[in-house]
Structure 1
Amino acid sequence: MMSQRTSVGLDVHARSVVACGLDGETGEMFERRLTPDHHEILVWIRSLPGRAAVTYEAGPTGFGLARFLLAAGIVCLVAAPSKLQRPSGDRVKTDTRDARHLARLLHLSEIVPVTIPSVEQEAARDLVRAREDVRGDLMAARHRISKLLLRQGIVYSGGKAWTGKHQVWLRTHTFTVPGLQLAYDTAFDTMLATVDRRDRLDAAIAEMAADSVYTLVVSRLGCLRGISTLTAFGLAVEIGDWQRLTGRSIGAYLGLVPTESSSGASRSQGSITKTGNAHARRLLIEAAWHHRQPYHHPGVDLRRRWDRATPSARARGQQGNRRLYGRWQSFDQRRKRPVVANTAIARELAGWCWSLAILDG
């Protein structure tokens, strides 16, 4: 419980900050439009009566203001936007009303805060998300090449696409129609440049995963199938502090639990909530598909990851791999839709990741 006298709500934008302070003793409100300068905001907060606590919504402006206020000794909570309670009949939204609403919620201790990452963790998270963006760019670049060739009636049939052999085949095409060759060369060069960007990011992530505060967690998570260095590092930096979660709550935190609408004796469940961290959820969804394959002969990459982990983590990972493969077999025997079954596997995989991340020894 916080013991502030004044609760301050900030509606933060790139070029302006609307502030509202609520005096918990007199009910008086103090409102001001400020610039985004952190020192100006701090001076105004310190001019309010009594001890003040501050909140603002998580958004594109980041966590710099929160870190600055915390360093100055001001309690600051960054509110999760999806958890803010709003009256269903409220149809008027302005910056001032948003700031007042945040101040009232903070006064009532109804703010659900997000975890404020350190500067280093946020930088690592930006690196992982840059790699995620490049992944999407590469997919789009490859689609542009394949569809351009398809419009000319050219289809590759020499095996798996986007390999070295396929790239040699792509270089063989020339066109005599004006403009077409330039369009093809541009698409091909874009694809090569994107691959180079991806490789440089992969190398940076691998280097950081091998020697950083995330190394221990990465080596432990790598004991599970489908979780290589890139996936393990992504989960480590996106979730951050695993101790704040439990094996039961991590599925809800990542939006992998079903929605529910129950009333009286009726209970209805729908698709997953998709709340929380979308990046970590996508990584788990992709990793869950690997557990559908038979687990009789672990691959070379998995055995190499086992060699980098402790015996206790290796034993825990093998237990999780057997359990998840058994779950896939059960779903397949019941003819469960693979997409639905995979989501359930991803939810359980999140729990196994949590158990490895907090493992002692």
Structure 2
Amino acid sequence: MQLALGVVTEVHVPDAECEGARDLARALADARDDAVRAKQRLSKFLLRHGLVYDERNAAGQRRNRWTGDFWAWVGRIDLGDAAAMATLDHYCERVREADAAKAALEAKVKSLAQQPRWKPTCDALKCLKGIDAVTAASIACEADGFARFATASGFAAWVGLVPSEHSSGESRFRGGITKAGNKHLRKLLVEAAWHYKGASRSPKDLAKGQVVDAATRRHANAGVRRLVDRRRSMDDAGKQSSVANVAVARELACWCWAVGRMAEGA
């Protein structure tokens, strides 16, 4: 009775398959965090010993870390103490193990995106810049059906990407985002939004095996143009970069809702 009157809100309960997909995607997020921590520990250990990787290529550009050249450089290090060398070996091994675990989970999440339940939505979401197969699979299983959200703003609110509000009488004050709801999904969208800083307005090419109908792709391409223009206008206005990125993330959430519903036939 209360549900029919709108007094209470129905709670969505995902099924076992969806819960398993969410667990896998969140395990990947944990593995990425573990890899970052392992690399930080190794970097700080080397720094304590006065060692900084500063190799350069023929053009004078600094080489990236965590490449074959970096590991070859690490392999030539001699700290002159057995305990210190054992510590170095330990940190190096932890980095390699963390990277291997992350790569294995990424492969499993990519495979998840090809399953019949998730593929149509994932293929549609991948038309938006900043969203690859892994991110698309994570968004799709966290949402578990965009059709259950009546509006784009409702989905953005569920993710916690809408402004907070403090009201007193007739006065209304808006603050930062609420950060309520799905923290994992909010982080994914905020990270994806960074791709629109300096991005072109051109659409993404379809990946091998990606199947998207023409209408959904046109709508996603319109979303890319809108998000790129939005980011440029905020940068030109002198907005703080992090503030501009969260604003783009909020709109990106709305576009995900839109193309997701189209992929679901809603």
Query: What TM-score, normalized by structure 1, do the two folds share?
Result: 0.67
SS of 2:173's partner is strand
Out of 216, 223, 248, the position equivalent to 1:320 is 223
Equivalents in 2 of 1:332, 1:274: separation in Å?
23
Residue 122 (1) aligns with residue 26 (2): no
Q: Flag structure 1 segments of 5+ consecutive residues without an equivalent.
A: 4-107
Please show how residues 47-66 of structure 1 align to structure 2 within 5 Å: none
Equivalents in 2 of 1:277, 1:351: separation in Å?
15
Equivalents in 2 of 1:168, 1:315: separation in Å?
47
Please show how residues 89-238 of structure 1 align to structure 2 within 5 Å: 112-158=9-55, 159-238=63-142
Equivalents in 2 of 1:168, 1:148: separation in Å?
17
Greater Cα offset, 165-174 or 240-249: 165-174
Partner of 1:338: 241
SS of 2:262's partner is coil
Q: Flag structure 2 segments of 5+ consecutive residues without an equivalent.
A: 56-62
Equivalents in 2 of 1:296, 1:262: separation in Å?
39
SS of 1:262's partner is strand
In structure 1, give the amino acid aligned to 2:223.
G
Residue 358 (1) aligns with residue 261 (2): yes
Matched positions, count: 254
Please show how residues 295-310 of structure 1 align to structure 2 within 5 Å: 295-296=200-201, 302-305=204-207, 308=210, 309-310=212-213
Task: Considering fraction of residues, name the structure with more helix.
Answer: 2
Out of 169, 190, 198, the position equivalent to 1:264 is 169
Q: Tell me how large the CA RMSD over aligned residues is.
A: 2.1
Q: Is the 8 A contact 2:201 2:228 kept in 1?
A: no
In structure 2, give the amino acid aligned to 1:303.
D
Question: How big is the shift at 1:113?
Answer: 4.8
In structure 1, give the amino acid aligned to 2:81.
V
In structure 2, give the amino acid aligned to 1:229.
A
Equivalents in 1 of 2:247, 2:65: separation in Å?
31
Q: Is the 8 A contact 1:223 1:306 kept in 2?
A: no
Question: How big is the shift at 1:297?
Answer: 5.4
Task: Considering fraction of residues, name the structure with more strand.
Answer: 1
Q: Deviations over 1:49-104 (max 9, x none)?
A: xxxxxxxxxxxxxxxxxxxxxxxxxxxxxxxxxxxxxxxxxxxxxxxxxxxxxxxx
Partner of 1:29: none
Equivalents in 1 of 2:6, 2:261: separation in Å?
30
